[in-house]
């Protein structure tokens, strides 16, 4: 079995895939700014069902991939763009475009013949990503899971200025004060975010069907509908849309292990180890990289964060 871990800004997703790459187990946990704790919680959960020897390979992805790689002893740490693409291609060879909206970034990936041909990520602002929607749901006192349903109820979506997260919020408050219906405002917000995505992130990219919509925000049917209306194309939300990154990481780990042979997985036992990161500045050159050192019960288990490999290559 193959383990995939995606440590993102908002959620930490863990999947277990079988030999045929079917999802056996999936966990969707909140990172809450403590990636080590989130991964440990996930592994504790999984240790009830699996033995160390069941795991043949481990892959990590997401913004916490390097930390997690050292923590769990993963065989590969890959960026989330590649991981999402691999997972989608594996599911359906026909996929040509992936729209992925996660906690704090949104991406578009275009694919031709099963190979990534182009991609883009949001650069200037996080408007339209998961954490922004989360915050708005909280402000409107609507559970985030119900956000999409509200949007679908709307008959006359209002126009919201979606270029910037702060201004979008002021515009929403303004529309609320004018007395617009909440569902019209939510639908307007979904439209604004989809429009913003197409004109900013997807600027200059060829969007061709079949289109996959992945990431936590894909659970929002309001966003799906908004994209379908703007693009005038059908959008597919895969069953495991929320953990596609983790699935990709597990698949990449499987491919990696075919090359290197044996996994370096440190076992499920790390869930009750006290692991502490410690940062320091390297004075090796003018780069002054901030190095992170991971310590488990005061024993060093690895370094990362350097640009030259001086520390991360240190065998521990």
Partner 1 sequence: MNITFPHLGNTYIAAKVLFEGLGVDYTIPPLSSKKTLEIGCLYSPDDVCLPFKIMIGNYVESIQRGADTVLITGSCGPCRFGEYCELQKKILLSLDKDIKFIVIDEPAKIGIREFLNRLSMVAKDSKLSKAKKIKALSMAVKTINLIDNIEKECRFFAGFEKNKGEFARLLKTVKLEAIEAKGAEKTLKVLEEHYEKLKKIEIDNFKNPIKIGIIGEIYTIIDPLSNMYIEDILMNLGVSTRRTLYPSWWVKNTVLSGLKINFSKIYKESKEYLGLCIGGHARECIGEAILNYKHGFDGLIQIFPVGCMPEIVSKAILPDIERRYGIPILSLVVDEMTGEAGYYTRVEAFLDLIEGRKKLCI
Taking CB under 8 A as the rule, does residue 126 contact partner 1? no
How far apart are CB 122 and partner 1 at their closest, in Å? 8
Taking CB under 8 A as the rule, does residue 116 contact partner 1? yes
- Is residue 295 within 8 A of residue 279, CB to CB? The reply is no
Name the residue nearer to partner 1 (CB basis): 190 or 217: 217
- Contact range with partner 1 by CB under 8 A, out of 139-147, 239-247, 272-280, 281-289: 281-289
Taking CB under 8 A as the rule, does residue 118 contact partner 1? yes
Taking CB under 8 A as the rule, does residue 308 contact partner 1? yes
Name the residue nearer to partner 1 (CB basis): 308 or 316: 308
How far apart are CB 287 and partner 1 at their closest, in Å? 6
Name the residue nearer to partner 1 (CB basis): 119 or 213: 119
- Contact range with partner 1 by CB under 8 A, out of 24-32, 154-162, 166-174, 282-290: 282-290
What is the chain's length?
316
Q: If phi over 0 gives left and psi between -120 and 50 gives alpha, with beta otherwise, what is residue 113?
A: left
Name the residue nearer to partner 1 (CB basis): 216 or 245: 245
Name the residue nearer to partner 1 (CB basis): 113 or 232: 113
Q: Which of 69, 78, 225, 266 binds partner 1 (CB under 8 A)?
A: 78
Taking CB under 8 A as the rule, does residue 261 contact partner 1? no
- Is residue 23 within 8 A of residue 10, CB to CB? The reply is no
Q: Which of 232, 279, 286, 297 binds partner 1 (CB under 8 A)?
A: 286
Phi, psi of 241, deg, nearest 5 = -55, -30
Residues found near partner 1 in the complex (CB under 8 A): 63, 78-82, 105, 113, 115-119, 121, 123, 204, 285-288, 307-309
């Amino acid at each position: 079995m193959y383990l995939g871990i995606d440590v993102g800004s908002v959620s930490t997703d863990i999947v277990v895939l079988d030999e045929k790459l079917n999802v056996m187990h999936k966990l969707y946990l909140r990172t809450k700014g403590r990636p080590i704790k989130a991964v440990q919680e996930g592994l504790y959960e999984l240790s009830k069902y699996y033995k160390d020897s069941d795991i043949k390979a481990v892959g990590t992805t997401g913004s916490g991939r390097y930390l997690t790689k050292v923590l769990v002893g993963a065989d590969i740490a890959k960026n989330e763009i590649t991981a999402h693409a691999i997972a989608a291609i594996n599911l359906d060879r026909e996929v040509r475009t992936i729209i992925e909206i996660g906690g704090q970034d949104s991406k578009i990936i275009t694919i031709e013949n099963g190979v990534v041909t182009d991609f883009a990520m949001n650069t200037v602002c996080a408007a339209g990503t998961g954490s922004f929607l989360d915050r708005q749901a909280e402000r409107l006192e609507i559970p985030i899971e119900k956000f999409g349903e509200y949007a679908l109820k709307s008959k006359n979506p209002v126009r919201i200025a979606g270029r910037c997260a702060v201004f979008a919020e002021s515009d929403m408050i303004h529309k609320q004060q004018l007395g617009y219906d909440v569902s019209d405002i939510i639908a307007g917000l979904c439209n604004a975010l989809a429009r913003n995505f197409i004109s900013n992130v997807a600027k200059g990219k060829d969007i061709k069907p079949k289109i996959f919509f992945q990431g936590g925000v894909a659970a929002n049917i309001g966003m799906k509908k908004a994209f379908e209306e703007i693009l005038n194309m059908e959008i597919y939300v895969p069953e495991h849309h929320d953990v596609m990154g983790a699935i990709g990481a597990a698949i990449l780990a499987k491919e990696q292990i075919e090359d290197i042979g044996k996994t370096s997985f440190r076992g499920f036992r790390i869930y009750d180890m006290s692991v502490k990161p410690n940062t320091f500045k390297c004075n090796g050159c003018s780069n002054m990289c901030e190095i992170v050192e991971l310590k488990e019960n005061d024993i060093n288990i690895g370094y990362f964060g350097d640009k030259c490999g001086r520390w991360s290559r240190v065998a521990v």
